[in-house]
Amino acid sequence: MRLVTFPDGMAYTGIDIVPALIEANKTKYEAPGRTFALGDIIAGPVPPAEAYFCRDVFIHFPNDAVEKSIANVRAAGATYLLASTFPDVTEKVDTVFPNSRRMNMALFLGEPEELLEDFGDGRSDKYMGVWKLG
């Protein structure tokens, strides 16, 4: 996100549970319209936002933590959720912290409005899904 130029009037807040990461990001990247704060998407509550961008986040969460996070994003009044997803995954495989797995967020949220290629690191199966929350 440090390379993204946001349109006038748009603000970005990076949230993480790791204090050292937040402090490092504040030092390196904080600027007008770009801030960083401690937060826990699982425990909530999370700050209100129009959209939540969760790249490579939920792949590390057990399924119950994914469900709690989605509920917190909905409770914050978000219109959109963007999240890493692997559309070819057909089952809700669970994991434990700090492991990760390929997962299909459509199994939690239904089919996305859009899939954006996220094929870095030699991958050709990973997307950013865009879900409109109702």
pLDDT at site 5? 80
3-class DSSP assignment, residue 26: helix
pLDDT in tens, 62-94: 999 999 999 999 999 999 999 999 999 999 999
Domain extent for 55? 46-132
Structural domains in the chain (count):
2
69 and 19 share one domain: no
pLDDT of 109 reads 98
Q: Does residue 73 sit in the same domain as residue 53? A: yes
Residues 57 and 20 in one domain: no
φ/ψ of residue 3, rounded to 5: -95, -5
Alpha-carbon distance 102 to 84, whole Å?
Answer: 9
Q: Are 28 and 51 contained in the same domain?
A: no
Q: Does 4 have pLDDT greater than 80?
A: no
51 and 35 fall within a common domain: no
Contacts of 26 (CB under 8 A, 6+ apart): 35, 36
Predicted confidence (pLDDT) per residue in 16-64, tens digit: 999 999 999 999 999 888 999 999 999 999 999 999 999 999 999 999 9
Give yes or no: residues 52 and 100 share one domain. Answer: yes
The pLDDT of residue 3 is 74
Are both 35 and 78 inside the same structural domain? no
DSSP line for 99-130: ------THHHH-S-SEEEE---TT-SS-EEEE
56 and 92, same domain (yes or no): yes
Q: Residue 1 above 90 pLDDT?
A: no
